[in-house]
Structure 1
Amino acid sequence: MSTESTRSSPDASLVPPRIPLADGGWLSGIALGTWKLDHDAARAAVAESIRAGYRQIDTAARYHNELGVGQGIRDAGLAPGEVQVTTKVRGGDQGHDETLRAVESSRRILGVDAIDLCLVHWPLPRLDRYVDTWRALVRLQADGVVRSIGVSNFSLEQVDRLVAETGVAPVVDQVELHPRLPQEALRAGLAERGIVAQAWGPLGRGKGLLDAEPIVAAARAHGVTPAQVALRWLVEVGAPPVPKSGDAARRRQNLDVFAFALTPAERASIATLATGERAGKDPSIDEEF
């Protein structure tokens, strides 16, 4: 089911708030996801989205669109430092020296002096290379090649191992997170460690989340779309989302979630959707290279 927003379209004045990171950097309250966009589509979407108000763009070596993302950021014409770019070390590049080479390749393809946030994309415990990969990122941060470093799809135990063996904690753990998979224990544990939980797959990847009655009812009540309700829920639980869309109007709507708030009754109703069901891969058993 789809609900059209009755609110005005966002513009460049609707820039999400900045979320401070433990290392002094920042994360945008909403980032633009670029998964499944090719170079040309990413370039156009990134430039338009930055003009609409986005200030963080999320890509990965595995997305094969870093070139378009970098071009789109330059096309938007903002001053250096106004837009953050996140990329990720893919599974096939894990290992210390491999990571050094992979991050330098990403930096050159993106066309930036330094990568704002670089994540280990998957833990891949079977390979047991994620600590060496992390050591490489720690070195690259010290060298100024990356400004902030984090992980994606990591458990608390894996995060704690990084800290135990290197003395350096990630500032972000990007994980699947939405009302069906709220990950309360993980979010609480990350918060205790000063790590921001960032939400990928925040709209449930088209698997019916946005048709759920608690989401639809809240959308009707506030005159917004179900997607805006799902994103607002994430903002309110402190998990900045990374939505993606190939449609410019939907990208603008996804950005516009800071002018309304869910009621306690709406939050309680949305909480009933928590089944633990994943829309994407399970990092405890699945692998991605």
Structure 2
Amino acid sequence: MQYITLNNGLKMPQLGFGVWQVPDEEATPAVEKALEIGYRSIDTAKVYENENGVGKALANSNVAREDLFITTKVWNSDQGYENTLQAFDKSLERLGLDYVDLYLIHWPTPEYDDYVETYKALEKLYKDGRVKAIGVCNFNVEHLQRLIDECDVVPAVNQVECHPYLQQKEVKEFCEKHNIYLEAWSPLMQGGEVLKNDVITSIAGSYSKTPAQVILRWHLQYNNIVIPKSVTPSRMEENFNVFDFELTTDDMKRIEGLDRNERKGPEPSEMNIR
């Protein structure tokens, strides 16, 4: 496992296991298998409705709590200062934990203009020691800048859709300037069309690796945190086995050239579902 150090000194596995769209009853065996393979970072959220299943897997695990890195998120309908504090308590209860390692705002939902207030609740949780680090998801530069201007704690992480067809260069540059790690959700792109790209498949062939392994390796070398999701044990193992090869500078440049700014998920400024 490879670790990065967040802006508050907390160490986080650079490769984690995501459970988006994994039903609650399937989350337990999936997370148990992920921990068996060697994953130590698990990424869930209130809206995924599988925190209970994740919590059961953690309770069944022999891995020490201090060796785990657990992330969850406050959903849009729970935003606001008091609402967020209450939502956090419920997430913690479902997970069966005393604290989480990383707590994130799921979307800025700027139409409602309550993400600053929500983030101040995250700051309280952080200062009270109930969360080891705080951050956001799907924040554009203007949303991040407002937090930096109006709040005390610079986000440790901004989790965004990111893959070779959507490399998020503007957001990435801003995050690097402010010592915020970019974390990639949907790192292999929803629908998987990037896996069939000729550049990716030719690089994969040269290393006797799969296209997915090449893309995950690109994320790691691009200094992203990455959280692929799969409930298929063989695919989970494949996604984890990306530490035994390294892409060349030329490989990285070829993949960099694939950027199309092609988004599969919502544009953050327009996502206002509660």
TM-score normalised by L of structure 1: 0.92
How far the C-alpha of 1:207 sits from its partner, in A, is 4.0
How far the C-alpha of 1:162 sits from its partner, in A, is 1.1
The question of whether the paired residues in 1 share the 8 Å contact of 2:164 and 2:255 is answered with yes
Q: What is the identity, as a one-letter code, of the residue corresponding to 2:15?
A: I
Partners in 2 of 1:21 and 1:67 — Cα distance?
Answer: 27
Deviations 1:51-100 (CA, angstroms, capped at 9, x unpaired): 11101000000000001111112222111211111000000000000000
Aligned to 1:202: 187
What percent identity do the matched residue pairs reach? 39
1:26-175 matches, cutoff 5 A: 26-175=11-160
Partners in 1 of 2:92 and 2:235 — Cα distance?
Answer: 29
For the residue of structure 2 that corresponds to 1:204, the secondary structure is coil
For the residue of structure 2 that corresponds to 1:113, the secondary structure is coil
Superposed CA RMSD: 1.1
The question of whether the paired residues in 1 share the 8 Å contact of 2:19 and 2:43 is answered with yes
For the residue of structure 2 that corresponds to 1:22, the secondary structure is coil
Aligned to 1:178: 163
Q: What is the identity, as a one-letter code, of the residue corresponding to 1:91?
A: N
Q: What is the identity, as a one-letter code, of the residue corresponding to 2:75?
A: R
Partners in 1 of 2:133 and 2:256 — Cα distance?
Answer: 33
For the residue of structure 1 that corresponds to 2:15, the secondary structure is coil
For the residue of structure 1 that corresponds to 2:101, the secondary structure is strand
Residues 1:17 and 2:2 are matched in the alignment:
yes
Q: What is the identity, as a one-letter code, of the residue corresponding to 1:162?
A: L
Residues 1:227 and 2:218 are matched in the alignment:
no
Partners in 2 of 1:228 and 1:154 — Cα distance?
Answer: 27
How far the C-alpha of 1:139 sits from its partner, in A, is 0.6
Aligned to 1:10: none
Q: What is the identity, as a one-letter code, of the residue corresponding to 2:83?
A: E
Partners in 2 of 1:19 and 1:196 — Cα distance?
Answer: 9
Count of aligned pairs: 274
How far the C-alpha of 1:268 sits from its partner, in A, is 2.4
Partners in 1 of 2:251 and 2:120 — Cα distance?
Answer: 43
Aligned to 1:242: 227
Deviations 1:130-153 (CA, angstroms, capped at 9, x unpaired): 000001010111112211100000
TM-score normalised by L of structure 2: 0.97
Q: Which runs of 5+ in 1 are unaligned?
A: 1-15
For the residue of structure 2 that corresponds to 1:188, the secondary structure is helix
Partners in 2 of 1:137 and 1:236 — Cα distance?
Answer: 30
The question of whether the paired residues in 2 share the 8 Å contact of 1:201 and 1:280 is answered with no
Partners in 2 of 1:286 and 1:166 — Cα distance?
Answer: 23
Q: What is the identity, as a one-letter code, of the residue corresponding to 2:28?
A: R
For the residue of structure 2 that corresponds to 1:81, the secondary structure is helix
The question of whether the paired residues in 2 share the 8 Å contact of 1:59 and 1:66 is answered with yes
Deviates more, 1:121-130 or 1:36-45: 36-45
The question of whether the paired residues in 2 share the 8 Å contact of 1:198 and 1:239 is answered with yes
Deviations 1:188-209 (CA, angstroms, capped at 9, x unpaired): 1101101100000100012411
Q: Which runs of 5+ in 2 are unaligned?
A: none
Moved over 6 A (4+): none
The question of whether the paired residues in 2 share the 8 Å contact of 1:207 and 1:279 is answered with no
Q: What is the identity, as a one-letter code, of the residue corresponding to 1:249?
A: S
